[in-house]
Amino acid sequence: MPTQLTAADIRKRFLEFFAHPKRGGHTIISSASLITTDEKGITNPTLFNTAGMQPLIPYLLGEPYIADGKLITRLVDSQKCLRTVDFDDIGDKSHATFFEMLGNWSLGDYFKKEAIEWSFDFLTSTSDVLGEQGLGLDPTRLYVTVFEGDAVAPRDDEAAAIWRDVFKRHNIDAGGDTTKGENGRIFYMPAKNNWWEAGDNGPCGPDSEMFYDVANRFAGRTISHDEYVQADDVRDVLEIWNDVFMQYEKKDGKIVGTLPKPSVDTGAGLERLTMTLQGVDNIYDTDLFKNVMDITRTLSSEVVRQRIIADHMRSSIFLIGDGVVPSNVGRGYILRRLIRKAVFNATSHTIDSETVKKIVGAVAHTYASAYPDITSKASIIAQTLQEEIEKFSGTLSRAVHEFDRLAKNGMNISGADAFTLFTSFGLPIDLTVALAADKKLTVDRAGFDEEFKKHQSLSRAGAEQKFKGGLADANDPMVIRYHTATHLLHQALHDVLGDGVEQKGSNITAERLRFDFSYPAKMTDEQKKRVEEIVNTKITAHIPVTMVSLPLALAEKTGARHFFNEKYGDTVSIYYVGSDIANAYSKEFCGGPHVKNTSELAGDEGKWTFKIAKEEAVAQGVRRIKAVLS
C-alpha cells in the first residue's frame, strides 16, 4: 500500500485516473447541489441527491450530454450526497448522513468489461506508465458480488465471467462456484443486495459490488458464501466500490424495457475508501472527520454521541451551504431534525456560538480545495446554525420536563402525547424515542404516525387555499403587471442571493406584490438595491413576455422554475421573459395572466419603476418582500 493518503489525495487521484486517456479520458465535472433542483422525468423526486447518479438521470436515460458544443459520453466526478434512510445507524463505524460518492460514468459508451477492469486497476495498482495512480490495495483481500437473477432480470453471469478473468490475469485464485458451496471470491446475491434503482422511475439494473477485507480476517484466501455473509454483517469486509449496469428502465415501479444504450454508473464512497486507506476501523477517525471530532469530544463523553454531533453538524453545514434553511416541512425539516439531534446529544443540550463557529471553520478547512463555497459562506452558515440551536435549546429543557411528567410512574408514551411533544415543544419523534429508551419505556409510534397524518391533511388543505395563485382580481391591469413583476423579482433574487432561494408563497393585489422566499439572513441595502436595478433594467429593455403550453415532461426539461413537490397536470403553461424559451431571463410554470412586454410595468406614461417597499422575516429562514410599481 502507498504512503497514507489524505481524503483530498484520494479524491484527486480518482478524478485524474479516469480523466487520463489510458482510462478512457473521462471529462471531469463538478458536483451538483445536494438539492434536487432538476427532476427531469421523475414523478416522485427525492428531496436530496442520495447517490452520485441522481443528477445524471436524464443522460443515463439517453438525453445527450453536451458541453462546449461537444457530445460527451464519459464523465467522472465527486458528487455530494445526503441520505436519511440510515439515520438510526449514524454513530457506527461506516454510516454518514452527508457523504461524497466518487463516480465514473459511461453514457451509452463502454459497458461491463471496461468498468470492472478499471475499477480493479484503480483499487489495486500502485504504479504503471501513469506513475502511482491507483490506491494500492491488496487484491487478494478483494471479494465481489453479482446479481443472482430473479423474475425481473436474469443472473449476471457476464459480470461474474469478467471478474473471473480479471483475477486470473493477475494470478489471483478466484476459487470455485460459490453457489454450489465451494470457496471463492465471487458471490451471487439477490436484488436487495445487487440491484440498483432510484425510486419508482428511471434507469436501473444489476450491479457488482467490491468488498475489502479491512480486518484481514481471511488472509487473502478464498472463502465460502456463509463466511462472506457473516463477515459483511460485522463489517469485517467493507463495501468500497459499486459498478451499476444501467440496462433497464422503470416506470411507476415496473420494468418497462431495456435501455437503447446501456450505461455504467460507478460509485465509491469517499468516506469508506478513506477509512480503508488510512487503516482505521471507522470513518470518524479519518481526516474527513478529525477536525470536527476534536471539537465534539468536548461536547460529550460518549463516543457515539460525539460521532452523531459531528455527522449532523457536518451535514447541516453542507445543507445550509446549498441553500436549505430550517423549517417544519420538506428539506428544511430534515435540516432542523439534524441540528436538533446534534444539540440533543450534547451533554449540556446546547452548543455555544463559539463552538459552532469552530465546527464550521473545521469543516470549511477540511473541504477548502473541493468546496470553497463553505468557506465563503461560513459566517451565514454559522449564523443559521446558531439561531436554530438557540431556538431549540430554549425549549428542550421544557420538553424534557414535559416528557418526565408524561412518563411519571413508568408510564409509556402514547402517540398523542408524542405528537404534543413534537408540535408544542419541538421535540422530534426520534428524540422522544431516545428519551423513552433511557428510561426503558416505549413510544406508540403507530399512534404518533396517525396523528401526524391528520396534521398533514389539515395543513395540505390550508396550503391549497394559501397558494392558489395569490391573485386578488386577475382582470385588473395592475394585478397583471404585478404578476409579471413577481416573476422578474423571483429571478433577480436568484441572481443576487444565489440558487438557495426558494419561493414559499406570494400574494398580489392591485396596490402591491408580496413574495415569500427562503433565505437565512436579512437582505442588505446593497442587495435590495441590486435586485431593484435588475428588475428595472428588464422593464426598460422592452422584453417580450410569452406563454407556451407543453407536456409536463418537456416543460420540466426547459428548466422553468416550479414547485417540485406540486402535482401538475399532463400539460402545463410556462410564461417566459425573453425572445425564446431557451435563453429567457425568467421562465416559470404559471397559469397567468401576464403583460405582453416588460415595458408595460412602467405604466402608461413609462415613468414607473420597481421599488422594494419592505423586506422582513416572517418565519425562521423565510423572508418577505413587499414591492410596488410607482
Q: Give the pLDDT band (50/70/90) at residue 456.
A: low
- pTM across the whole model: 0.69
Q: Give the pLDDT band (50/70/90) at residue 568.
A: low
- The pLDDT mean for the chain works out to 88
pLDDT higher than threshold 70 for residue 1: no
Q: Put residue 573 in one of left, alpha, beta given phi > 0 → left and psi -120 to 50 → alpha.
A: beta
Burial of 435 (0-12, 13-18, 19+ CB in 10 A): buried
| Domains of the chain, start order | 7-285 (3.30.930.10), 300-464 (no CATH), 477-629 (3.30.980.10)
In the three-class reduction of DSSP (H, G, I as helix; E, B as strand; rest coil), residue 615 is classed as: strand
Among 159-168, 280-289, 500-509, which is the least confidently predicted range?
A: 500-509
Helices (H), 170-283: 191-194, 225-233, 270-277
**Distances in whole angstroms, Cα of residue 98 to Cα of each of 203, 204, 312, 340, 618:** 24, 23, 8, 16, 29
pLDDT higher than threshold 70 for residue 38: no
What is the average pLDDT across 425-442? Answer: 87
The pLDDT of residue 198 is 66
- Alpha-carbon distance of 484 to 481, in angstroms, equals 5
pLDDT higher than threshold 60 for residue 347: yes
pLDDT higher than threshold 60 for residue 459: no
The pLDDT of residue 199 is 67
The pLDDT of residue 556 is 81
pLDDT higher than threshold 60 for residue 267: yes
> pLDDT tens across 135-152, in order?
999 999 999 999 999 988
Query: Helix, strand, coil % (nearest 5) of the chain?
Result: 40, 25, 35
pLDDT higher than threshold 70 for residue 44: no
The DSSP secondary-structure symbol of 283 reads G
The pLDDT of residue 538 is 93
447-450 long-range CB contacts below 8 Å, 24 or more apart?
Answer: 447/414, 447/415, 447/416, 447/418, 447/419, 448/415, 448/418, 448/419, 448/422, 449/415, 450/415
DSSP result, 520-570: SSPPPHHHHHHHHHHHHHHHHTT-BEEEEEEEHHHHHHTT-B--TTS---S
Q: Give the pLDDT band (50/70/90) at residue 471.
A: very low
pLDDT higher than threshold 50 for residue 65: yes
- For residue 380, count other CB atoms closer than 10 A to its CB: 16
The pLDDT of residue 43 is 38
**Distances in whole angstroms, Cα of residue 157 to Cα of each of 154, 173, 518:** 9, 18, 50
> pLDDT tens across 472-528, in order?
455 578 888 999 999 999 999 999 998 888 888 888 888 889 998 888 889 999 999
State which of 57-61, 126-130, 606-610 shows the largest mean pLDDT: 606-610
pLDDT higher than threshold 90 for residue 370: yes
- Alpha-carbon distance of 142 to 149, in angstroms, equals 23
